[in-house]
Structure 1
Amino acid sequence: MVLDAAPAAVEARVAAVLLDEHDGKSLSLRHAPGHDGIGIMPSMLEECLAESEWQAPDLVVVVVGPGSFTGLRTSCSLAAGLAFGFGCPVVGVTRGEALSPVLDTLVRQEERTGWLCVTTARRGRWFVESPAPDPTTLGPVIAVKSAEWEPPTGSWIVAGDGAEQAVACAPDRLFLVTVTGEASPEDIAHVGLLRHQGRLAARPPLPLYVDPPEAKLPAAGLRARPE
């Protein structure tokens, strides 16, 4: 079962995916836009389970980020509850990792240095994810100011919902590919299966908060300490 609500501006997705070592097929898929979609994820999950006629999933895969604070909390909590209720394992996958099988192939074909997954954040910023150096480690994800970002030296394929804007910053080093949006549920499931099998470094199914949480004082100030 795949749960994805990382990009709140796009949609929340739930899918029941039948997967083998080389191929995958969505038996049931539900999606809805924005924060309204995030709010109805439990209902979408129920519909997918019923339509797929599964007694229980064998594995739950949740996209842990980077992305929407609300979307990540909701989808990761739902994934944890589903796994606990059915007694099945649950793993986390990032947005870049989900695209990595396609991107790794393009890097080899076009003889580039590597790939970058650029996703939009608030206040003129991007989250930039790059691949792990080897299967035993996790790839880094950083937050940058889009107006000040300097891409690394080399020749990079760029994907993600911020790819077009990023390529405009350094067209001599960054190259846009047709994969500019989100990974398919089948791709997410495939990477999740590799992680479950121990072929990728472990990543817990917890929200990947690139930025620290924002906390603001109440407009009227803090309440006095109780006596």
Structure 2
Amino acid sequence: MKQMSRILVLDGSAAGDAAFGLAACVQQTDGGDFQPISCQQAPGKQAAEGIGLLAAQALKDAGWQAGSPFQPELVAVVVGPGSFTGLRASCATAAGYALGLDVPVVGVTRGEALCPVLDAECTQQENEALQGWMVVTAARRGRVFVETKAGTQAVALDAWQFPAGRWLVAGDAANVVASPDCVLSSTNIPDPAQIAAAACARLRGELPPRDALPLYVDPPEAKLPAAGLRSAPV
């Protein structure tokens, strides 16, 4: 498979007070390394919702804008877990760029992007007998998202019990669930190079297939009225 040398990375997954929008242009070298050559990041939910503006500026800064002889060959987007609105905006923007450029779009989770560095940290903790790693992401209403290699769940902090054994705990809400039996990681959120690397690994078949669609962990908050929907207008 052709090496994807130019990768547009989008991340609007962060939720709550940790929300931000990120767009970056990442160059894959002949040696296989991933080097960001431009990056636009802004805090707040509005930045995640308007991630298209960040993407346009990142592309311009990299010289990959429309009309340039150099264009992205792959679009990588973080699909979750995280903000409902931020995920919709970033995934829709990623799909739009991929369609316009006629290039693949690949989705990755936060845990998938951080997996190599967390696996390495677990290996270094030889005397800790770790069960594995978990990435804990801020959510709303007294909850967090917990992602492990087995999957992702949303948990209420006042009802969740830390799993048995010793775990390496990473993520922007790691301190919230810290226990005496865990090992806290300094790893927080995936950077553009890590996201790009995970997307290329998925494209090569080294990660199981995953659509570039929002990973919604929670059930929809909106419910149908008890009496059902109104009939269609005549």
4+ runs deviating over 6 angstroms: none
Of the three residues 101, 106, 115, the one matched with 1:86 is 101
Residue in 2 aligned with 1:11?
20
Distance 1:78 1:141, change over 3 A: same
Report if aligned partners of 2:50, 2:89 keep a CA contact under 8 Å in 1.
no
Q: Which secondary structure does the structure 2 equivalent of 1:60 belong to?
A: strand
In percent, how many aligned pairs have the same letter?
A: 48
How many pairs were matched up? 214
RMSD: 1.9
Q: How much does 1:41 deviate?
A: 1.6
Q: Which secondary structure does the structure 1 equivalent of 2:37 belong to?
A: strand
Residue in 2 aligned with 1:44?
54
Residue in 1 aligned with 2:185?
177
Report if aligned partners of 2:107, 2:213 keep a CA contact under 8 Å in 1.
yes
Q: Which secondary structure does the structure 1 equivalent of 2:36 belong to?
A: strand
Residue in 2 aligned with 1:125?
143
Q: How much does 1:224 deviate?
A: 6.8
Residue in 1 aligned with 2:39?
29
Q: Point out where structure 2 has 5 or more consecutive residues left out of the alignment.
A: 1-7, 65-69
1:224 and 1:197 map into 2 onto residues whose CA distance is 48
Letter in 1 for 2:50: I
Letter in 1 for 2:158: A
Matched, 1:163 2:174: yes
Q: How much does 1:124 deviate?
A: 1.1
Q: How much does 1:19 deviate?
A: 1.8
Residue in 2 aligned with 1:136?
none
Given the two structures, how large is their TM-score scaled by the length of structure 1? Answer: 0.88
1:110 and 1:53 map into 2 onto residues whose CA distance is 43
Q: How much does 1:217 deviate?
A: 6.8
Task: Please list, as runs of the form range in 1=range in 2, the aligned pairs for 1:196-215 lying within 5 A after superposition.
Answer: 196-215=203-222
Q: Which secondary structure does the structure 2 equivalent of 1:183 belong to?
A: coil
1:82 and 1:96 map into 2 onto residues whose CA distance is 24
Q: Which secondary structure does the structure 2 equivalent of 1:122 belong to?
A: coil
Of the three residues 190, 200, 206, the one matched with 2:197 is 190
1:128 and 1:118 map into 2 onto residues whose CA distance is 5
2:37 and 2:25 map into 1 onto residues whose CA distance is 6
Q: Which secondary structure does the structure 2 equivalent of 1:148 belong to?
A: coil
Q: Point out where structure 1 has 5 or more consecutive residues left out of the alignment.
A: 132-138
